[in-house]
Amino acid sequence: MVALAISREQVMAWLGDVADPEIPVLAITDLGIVRNVTIQDDVVVELTPTYSGCPATEVIEQSVLDALHRHGVENVTIKRVLSPPWTTDWISEDGRDKLREYGIAPPASGGSKRELLHGNRDVACPRCTSLNTAVVSEFGSTACKASYKCSDCLEPFEYFKCI
């Protein structure tokens, strides 16, 4: 069986090419949503959605199936793992850099719920790194982002909310 001839590392490398449909510069491995890969009679990929109502979850699961099928892996099982829930702390450093380069301020590491709910956070502009920024709306282009503006370079940007 094909699945027995591949390694977990190879599958993870292939998953590193699966883009997040909402932020295409990020791979799902950058987001930290790939919880585990096991290989026995089939390849089992455990994924944790960024939040339980994320509209991209099914698209991501299908993208994982498509990517593995393209590499000749036919027997694939996707397991949705909801506990523990995903946190923005799982985004890799490379993923945070990619967000910044794309123009989205990455979430603060170790962000607390108090910080999330009360807006007590310094958000650096991804373009000029200034902390002289202000929230425009807690609701951005997707549920996981907020809209900000920089008072120094005058550019609008999005902030990936801490979860």
Q: pLDDT tens-digit profile of 47-57?
A: 999 988 888 99
Which residue, 80, 114, 147, sits at the end of a domain?
A: 80
State the DSSP string of 8-34: HHHHHHHHTT-B-SSSTTSBHHHHT-E
The string of pLDDT tens digits covering residues 75-133 is 999 999 999 999 999 999 999 999 999 999 999 875 545 455 555 678 999 999 999 99
Give, as one character, the DSSP assignment of residue 86.
P
Contact 44, 79 (CB under 8 A): yes
**One domain for residues 54 and 115:** no
**One domain for residues 70 and 7:** yes
Which residue, 24, 58, 80, sits at the end of a domain?
A: 80
In terms of Cα–Cα distance, which of 43, 41, 33 is closest to 9?
43
**One domain for residues 57 and 111:** no
In a domain, 86, yes or no: no
CATH number for the domain harbouring residue 41:
3.30.300.130
**Domain containing 46: what range?**
2-80
Q: Which amino acid is at 27?
A: A
In terms of Cα–Cα distance, which of 59, 60, 153 is closest to 105?
153
In a domain, 105, yes or no: yes
